Structure 1
């Protein structure tokens, strides 16, 4: 339990929101910023005289594009060579360069000097802004916070978020998943209207990330059954499709290319974002920008149908991820009691119509504010974890880990210790044997992922192994004897690829596992029989010629094991049977 009051922060890609629990009202309150807005742009800008954060930063973005930073959430905890970052580099007006250990660094000019900042630093500035907004509302400084992250944030991204919080002077008492926080908000607002068990599907489509979670609410317990998502899918991607479309239209009509002008692109992006919002309640709109480029005015209409066609594959991908979550939870659509829409992009009419068709229902839950639900739920969790509140709702949250965790064993097999969608916190132990006589220790590589072949998953660390511990924030902790090596964590592109490849290569994985098991069986048989031949009683019953024949067969078997030419389990299985027949006939 944390001492002192605590707040809940929804740290978003495009907008952030902060809330606090109010005992006298028995609910969380969204805190308005200094501009009177309930959400704050996740923007930071640098000028020759000052640093701007929030509304002030976004308002001047068109005039200072190269020094106005946004999308820090898409950089945090990732590597510069991440394919998704490489794609975003072409869209960002600011410069991102590789730093030490391939860490992406953002270049800005501040007070006449060039500076390189990590995503954690930019994020800490946004968190500081949210902390100050809360402090002004509460009348005193606040240090404790519950911060939300996408459910599919990996271990590195979660740790980087905690680092950013420390830089901002915040004590993070818990990191929780965004759809889980939304489920808490839903539960508090709706539980008076239902009784017994309730299965709720949270569909969280925000500005930069997409998450879905299936939560079972029973009495005071909120149990996450499964989660799925994409850390690079959201409203900004819809905006990018529109920007690309209008750049091509402008090039076709006026024979000019604006892709090299950051200011023109920023102005166009701002108008595309406005048009997207307009198309949520209108069938068409027109984007008009005076003197967009080289004095040429920009004026193009766009219909809702055209917008939907530009983003059709992205909308359909959301439905695929929703199906994956249902499959992981082993639950049918008819078993759901509610589908809750969260995140500003869930307002897109096409998204809602696809959801209604997918879930075969027309009563999607729109009654909680999609922009504020995550911060609202985070504030509830903060109240539950703070000693300063005496009147708080009675709720117990059980979350899950999104990816399997395991170790590499002989034959490059992934031995899963903590399966994905396991309720956390959890501690699991595995029993592993040494591979050689008199071996006093062993180094076990730790991976996260869903592939059978360990090296095709993502290496976290190498440890002298003793146990696993998954913390409440879904951050991996190790009970180990000696830390051997630390390795940079996986990229978001890789984490997204893991489960997809697990399905595509499932048959290949089964085949590989069978080969490894066959090779291990042959290897162990040769090892055991060689030791047996050294035994005096056995050796005395075997003639020199028989012993030579057996040893020769063992040598051929070892050569077969070392060869990389054979990729069928039957080769090793057949040779093992032959060895067994030879040994049985002689001994």
Structure 2
């Protein structure tokens, strides 16, 4: 079976392409200038399109026709206007131009039909789909996505020829041009395993450039031009200073690079329209202070990742530096001071991701191949089935292949290496065989297996047993965030998220989910069943997540009525590149609905974001008013509220036609802050639920000590059987369900002894004003007094029940989920 071999780092600032084939790694260089990287820039001239460094050179001369940093807007609905072409282009269009140019770097052999393209680990599904679409527009038949921290770890592990005798833990600190990722890895003598990751899609070198422009360059020009709001004015799509923003960004980026080498730099500022010329000198110390808050945010992500996994800096053996922004001396100094861990710089931080992508591609089987015989995993299988077990990666000179026949079999096997250097010949076997095969060092070894029956007739063939010798591979790619199903919580009158695939699960994933209808949907009606697949924390609110797949089945599509309480089946599949497939089967009507989802754009209006921020701030204000006694809790809530207000102010100041990615950055920060808020309030609510559970459990235990009925003890033991798992789950719905189970048992125990109703009766009598019918209540009190006097507790119990029916009813509609808001699933 052929492998993909080609890997591409599609970066915010720079991109590159490399190939790993037959044990050899090749980084392709730009024919012009022989650089390993290509600037991620596209310039549209009157009669031609320039890509790379040549395009970037026009950033000062013709900034409105030059486009960079478009990776930050992948997965959005934003478009760029090209004056020289009188047309719009999307981030996907621009990315496809970069990918096509990288193909031109390949100077030998055929151009690849499949490729591995890297993405930030924190990319959501929509951004991932947009990246795949860019690859398809560039002419690739198949685009395999790989998370950047995984690619970088492969580059470090394979370039250093590691010989580990014990398991190690690494951190990949990936501070690139547009994004930040930090990943926790486990590495041993065979493979790399990703344990967890975190990051921010709007935290990178571009933010440093913007900070330098806003806080250093703009104030000088504001004074010279006499324009008080120049920062807002120059970011307007249509305005007097619309070219200035791009010119200043270019100068800031160049100054940033120089300050990594020199102690100070002088920036020349010109605005020819008003004959303005100014110079600004900035020292490295000033620059370090300027970028300190941004670097601090990356450190907080890193510390939080360690804390979440119960680790300290002492548990980490090395921090691998990835991304051009890590070349800033201050970033390295901060990491060393904060963690005291050795920094891995053995591989160029700007090339690590591309090199790792090639290593991954070199062992990735192609999905499309013209060689039909090779593409079949098992080319021929008659009645007999066979199972193969072997290590995909090995650092030994030989490896074991375990062959098992399922059922009775007598025949022969033959295993030979594709190059002919190893061949077992035809060997007799029946139930199982253990075969040690020789491996070519540092290469991808492909073996072919042929099984014949006793008459030497072929019964099974496997043409692609691939073992990677001497190079590290990853155990697999992990899911960066929970994938959930929105369902109705009729008890609390809301919808909530139920996890389908948990964060850090190994891709690809597949699961069959069985749900019950929470409402009836009549045939030919306008009512519908809504299946909403959400990417977001399973313990968060549905609104805090991102919809990646939505299926609506209207009553008009039904063959018969769907009755509340009937079951439906959902088969949900997520590929390694996060393609989502949802199959819905309605048992009652015997109907099946198949859906594939690859959303590549999301729409975000400034007005909608402003309303959302206002709603979030109002929600926090309500929380502040509810908990006036808990000062520590209030301080944390107030801090989140203040940061949301700052975001709202920044959004208000931003122009409606803002050319920067400000609104997406604000939306990203808003989501993180609301997740922090959810975590705070959820933990408080969990503590209340846990306290309630323990109280009810203690009450049940007290009753059981006096009650000898073994059936009650059996019920109690059944409830607490999975107590530890439920209480440690952090899932408030599971804990509340456990509380209800225990309360139900307590109620059963209470009802079993009629004497328990004495205190209830006395309490009712002391609060007689609460009953809706006072005359009837007085008659009940008289009857209850007689029952007490005669010690007729069964009769007293009946009186209590009648009194209970006279209590005012609560407005049950307050917590009822409106039918129009229901998903139809529970």
Q: Tell me the residue number matched to 2:812.
A: 558
Cα distance, 1:518 vs structure 2: 7.0
In structure 2, which of residues 482, 488, 499 is the aligned counterpart of residue 410 of structure 1?
488
Aligned to 1:20: 19
Q: Which runs of 5+ in 1 are unaligned?
A: 79-102, 527-544, 565-587
CA distance 1:507–1:255, change in 2 (3 Å): closer
Separation of aligned partners in 1, 2:529 and 2:594: 12
**Inter-partner Cα distance in structure 1 for 2:739 and 2:594:** 31
SS of the residue aligned with 2:296? helix
| 1:449 matched to 2:536 | yes
Aligned to 1:369: 348
Match of 1:427 among 498, 505, 510: 510
Which range moved further: 437-446 or 158-167? 437-446
What does residue 174 of structure 1 align with? 144
The SS at the match of 1:157 is helix
**Deviation per CA, 1:187-245, whole angstroms, max 9, x where unpaired?**
10124353331211000111111111111112222111111111111111111111222
Offset, 1:75: 1.4
Q: Does 1:246 align with 2:226?
A: no
Indicate whether 1:132 and 2:215 are aligned: no
Distance (whole Å) between structure 1 residues aligned to residue 595 and residue 111 of structure 2: 41
**Matching residue within 567, 570, 594 for 1:466:** 570
Task: Find the aligned partners of 2:817 and 2:44 in 1 and give their Cα distance.
Answer: 59
Contact 2:179 2:201 in 1 (8 A): yes
Distance 2:156 2:316 in 1: 15
Counterpart of 2:675 in structure 1 is 502
Farther off after superposition, 253-262 or 463-472: 253-262
C-alpha distance after superposition, 1:32-91 (max 9, x if no partner): 34332211111111122111111221112222211111222111112xxxxxxxxxxxxx
TM-score by length of 2: 0.57
Equivalences for residues 15-54 of structure 1 within 5 A: 15-23=14-22, 26-54=24-52
What does residue 479 of structure 2 align with?
Answer: 401
Decide whether aligned partners of structure 1 residues 549 and 466 sit closer, same or farther in structure 2, where only a CA change above 3 A counts.
Answer: farther
| Residues 282-297 of structure 1 aligned to structure 2 (within 5 Å) | 282-288=262-268, 294-297=274-277
Once residues 347 and 480 of structure 1 are traced to their aligned partners in structure 2, the CA distance between those partners, rounded to angstroms, is: 50
Q: Aligned Cα RMSD in Å?
A: 3.7
**Distance of aligned partners of 1:465 and 1:552 in 2 relative to their CA distance in 1, 3 Å threshold:** farther
Paired position in structure 1 for 2:717? none
Task: Tell me which residue corresponds to 1:109.
Answer: 83
CA deviations on 1:509-567 (whole Å, 9 max, x unpaired) are 35778697879999xx99xxxxxxxxxxxxxxxxxx99999999897563454499xxx
8 Å Cα contact 2:514-2:570 kept in structure 1:
no
Q: Are the counterparts in 1 of residues 202 and 668 from structure 2 also a CA contact under 8 Å?
A: no
Corresponding residue SS for 1:142: coil
Q: Work out whether 1:209 is the aligned partner of 2:183.
A: no
Question: CA separation of 1:549/1:129 partners in 2, compared to 1, >3 Å: closer, same or farther?
Answer: farther
1:350 aligns with 2:330: yes
Distance 2:270 2:546 in 1: 49
User: Following the alignment from structure 2 to structure 1, what is the Cα–Cα distance between the partners of residues 152 and 534?
Assistant: 30
Asked if residue 476 in structure 1 is aligned to residue 580 in structure 2, the reply is yes
Output one character per residue of 1:361-393: Cα deviation in whole Å (capped at 9) or x when no partner: 3x3111210010000000111111147984653
Deviates more, 1:409-418 or 1:477-486: 477-486
1:426: how far off?
A: 2.7
Q: Which residue of 2 aligns with 1:327?
A: 307
* Pair 1:456–1:236, CA change in 2 (3 A): closer
Q: 1:271-319, CA deviations, whole angstroms, 9 ceiling, x for partnerless residues?
A: 3222211211222121235666633333211011111222221111011
Change (3 A) 1:264 1:489: closer
Find the aligned partners of 1:400 and 1:462 in 2 and give their Cα distance.
23
Counterpart residue number, 1:199: 169
Using a 3 Å threshold, how does the CA distance of structure 1 residues 217 and 139 change in structure 2: closer, same or farther?
A: same
Deviation at 1:422? 2.1
Q: 1:495 to 1:218 in 2, by over 3 A?
A: farther
Separation in 2 of the partners of 1:550 and 1:172? 68
Does structure 1 retain, via aligned residues, the 8 Å contact 2:118–2:151?
Answer: yes
Alignment pair present for 1:184 and 2:147? no
Distance change >3 Å, CA 426–CA 218, structure 1 → 2: farther
Which range is displaced more, 239-248 or 501-510?
501-510
CA contact (8 A) 1:208 1:235 kept: yes
Secondary structure at the aligned position of 1:505 is classed as helix
Give the secondary structure class of the aligned counterpart of 1:104: coil
* Aligned: 1:147 with 2:147: no
TM-aligned CA distance change 1:144 to 1:201, over 3 Å? same
Give the whole-Å Cα distance in 2 for the aligned partners of 1:443 and 1:298.
60
Unpaired runs of 5+ residues, structure 2, are 235-239, 370-442, 446-467, 490-494, 552-567, 586-592, 605-663, 690-731, 745-798, 819-826
* Greater Rg over alpha carbons, structure: 2
Against the structure 1 CA distance between its residues 117 and 147, is the aligned structure 2 distance closer, same or farther, given a 3 Å change threshold?
A: same
In the alignment, the residues of structure 1 paired with residue 474 and residue 736 of structure 2 have an alpha-carbon distance, to the nearest angstrom, of: 47
Mapped to 1, the partners of 2:576 and 2:256 lie a distance apart of: 37
- Return the alpha-carbon distance in structure 2 between the equivalents of residues 34 and 323 of structure 1: 42
Q: How far apart, in 1, do the equivalents of 2:126 and 2:249 lie?
A: 30
Quickly say closer, same or farther: Cα 1:452–1:242, change in 2 above 3 A.
closer
Distance 1:379 1:241 in 2: 35
TM-superposed deviation, 1:507? 3.8
